[in-house]
Copies of this chain bind each other. A is one copy, B any other.
Amino acid sequence: MIGGGQGAFIGGVHRIAAQLDNAYELVCGAFSSNAEKSKASGEMLGIAPERVYASYKELFEKEQQLPEAQRVQVISIVTPNHVHFEPAKMALESGFHVILDKPMTFSLEEALQLRDVQERSGMLFCLTHTYTGYPMVKEARQLVASGKLGQIRKVYVEYPQGWLSTFEEGGENKQASWRTDPKQSGIAGAMGDIGTHAFNLAEYVSGLAVTKINADINVVVDGRQLDDDGAALLKFDNGASGVLVATQVAAGEENNVRIRVYGEKGGLEWQQEDANTLQVKWLDRPNEIYRTGGGNYLSSYAQHNTRTPGGHPEGYLEAFANLYRNFALCVQARLKGEEPQPEWQDYPGIEDGVRGMAFIENVIASGQSNQKWTDFTI
């Protein structure tokens, strides 16, 4: 693991996600750019001291020298955005599979480079767009893909948060500080942090690609350096249209990511606050409630990504763990020279990362433009 030392948030989530299904063992790490902190974090995590490194460069060098059987196989990178590209590139080039936190890089330019590196390396790559790990989100994608809803016409996606309603970045709040700092986060704040999640979810569930954006991007809180709010009208490649909302100043909101998709014959609705439910809506008969663990009416994708019987809720950590588990299944299949099952391959990858970075650049460009519609370009 690169990053995720004491005081970090997402590193701990990654560790739980990795170990939840017993598919990974945490064997080495460079947990902080500060060597002392890295050491302390490694000790706390029970890592053998000789495999706690002062930097990710050292990690790659030293691990490559270990015999293959002892060497780490998968590198998990959980640093702030500006420290994504270099370690990911080095990891892939050093022959390690990579799990990388989103957004993929600091810029689209880096993302395109990383795609080249990954393709050349032949190593596997996963980007942790967590929400696509929920069983009912997978069910939603399968339902759209099945054609049962008819051709898709509308996609509404939103990610409202309230935690940046005041100027948090001055003080102790490490999360607020780096996420609002252009040097660490890049050109976007809310759009990079949560807008990319919403964008990824919209494309994942609908199976469509955004082609045009018309965005309103705002800095609401005085003194903030990056956008903390925005909304965008969208056009998709099949002619559908939609709306994306991402805001960090909706006071009183937590993380209620929500998506609604409507086709000619029906629609669906999913929201994180009721993550084990998929509402399925029909033009001419009663709406239905699909549930995690609900049984044979669910697709193999939903069933594969479920651990508990219906009614015992699974949550964010399980969704995250689904990404890790599916990635591990693909890594293991490769080790065995077997073809991974389609359900295992259903995790976000390098292309999602490129499109996510393109979203950031396009949505910010649209926000700054007087032109109504900006073509979604990569």
User: Are A313 and B251 in contact, CB atoms less than 8 angstroms apart?
Assistant: no
Q: Measured between alpha carbons, how far is A255 from B156 in the docked complex, in Å? A: 17
Q: Is A307 an interface residue (CB 8 A)?
A: yes
For A104, the chain B residues whose CB sits under 8 A away are none
CB interface residues, A 128-162, toward B, < 8 Å: 149-150, 153-154, 156, 160-162
Q: Is A79 an interface residue (CB 8 A)?
A: no
For A308, the chain B residues whose CB sits under 8 A away are 13, 315-317
CB interface residues, A 200-254, toward B, < 8 Å: 214, 216, 218, 220, 229, 231, 233, 241, 243, 245, 247, 249-254
Q: Is A4 an interface residue (CB 8 A)?
A: no
Q: Which of A30-38, A58-66, A271-279 contacts the other chain?
A: A271-279
Q: Measured between alpha carbons, how far is A284 from B280 in the docked complex, in Å? A: 16
For A256, the chain B residues whose CB sits under 8 A away are 311
Known: A45-B22, A372-B369. A267 touches B162 (CB 8 A): yes
For the complex, would chain A's binding face be called helix, strand, loop or mixed by DSSP majority? loop
Q: Is A265 an interface residue (CB 8 A)?
A: yes
CB interface residues, A 34-59, toward B, < 8 Å: 45-46
Known: A166-B283, A273-B311. A317 touches B316 (CB 8 A): no
Q: Is A178 an interface residue (CB 8 A)?
A: no
Q: Is A122 an interface residue (CB 8 A)?
A: no
Q: Is A286 an interface residue (CB 8 A)?
A: yes
Q: Is A89 an interface residue (CB 8 A)?
A: no
User: Are B154 and A249 in contact, CB atoms less than 8 angstroms apart?
Assistant: yes
Assign chain A's interface to a size class. 35 or more
User: Are A372 and B214 in contact, CB atoms less than 8 angstroms apart?
Assistant: yes
Q: Is A260 an interface residue (CB 8 A)?
A: yes
User: Are A241 and B267 in contact, CB atoms less than 8 angstroms apart?
Assistant: no
CB interface residues, A 326-372, toward B, < 8 Å: 369-372
For A301, the chain B residues whose CB sits under 8 A away are none
User: Are B247 and A317 in contact, CB atoms less than 8 angstroms apart?
Assistant: no
For A46, the chain B residues whose CB sits under 8 A away are 22
User: Which of the listed residues A247, A307, A310, A311 has the most CB atoms from chain B within 10 Å of its own CB?
Assistant: A311
Q: Which of A110-118, A179-187, A289-297 contacts the other chain?
A: A289-297
User: Are A254 and B309 in contact, CB atoms less than 8 angstroms apart?
Assistant: yes
Q: Is A14 an interface residue (CB 8 A)?
A: no
For A296, the chain B residues whose CB sits under 8 A away are 284
User: Are A241 and B265 in contact, CB atoms less than 8 angstroms apart?
Assistant: no
User: Are A250 and B295 in contact, CB atoms less than 8 angstroms apart?
Assistant: no
User: Are B243 and A243 in contact, CB atoms less than 8 angstroms apart?
Assistant: yes
Determine how close the nearest CB of chain B comes to the CB of A245; give it in whole angstroms. 6
Q: Is A16 an interface residue (CB 8 A)?
A: yes
Q: Is A375 an interface residue (CB 8 A)?
A: no
A-B contacts, 20 listed (Cβ < 8 Å)? A15-B22, A16-B22, A16-B307, A22-B26, A22-B46, A153-B249, A154-B220, A154-B247, A162-B283, A229-B241, A247-B262, A252-B262, A253-B262, A255-B311, A255-B312, A273-B313, A274-B274, A307-B317, A308-B315, A315-B318
Q: A154-B250, A165-B265, A286-B297 are in contact. List 18 more A-B contacts (CB 8 A).
A: A13-B308, A16-B20, A19-B19, A149-B251, A154-B220, A162-B281, A231-B243, A233-B233, A252-B281, A254-B291, A255-B309, A273-B276, A286-B294, A312-B316, A314-B315, A315-B318, A317-B317, A317-B318
- Interface of A with B (CB < 8 Å)? 9, 12-13, 15-16, 19-22, 26, 45-46, 149-150, 153-154, 156, 160-163, 165-166, 214, 216, 218, 220, 229, 231, 233, 241, 243, 245, 247, 249-256, 260, 262-267, 272-276, 280-291, 293-297, 307-318, 369-372
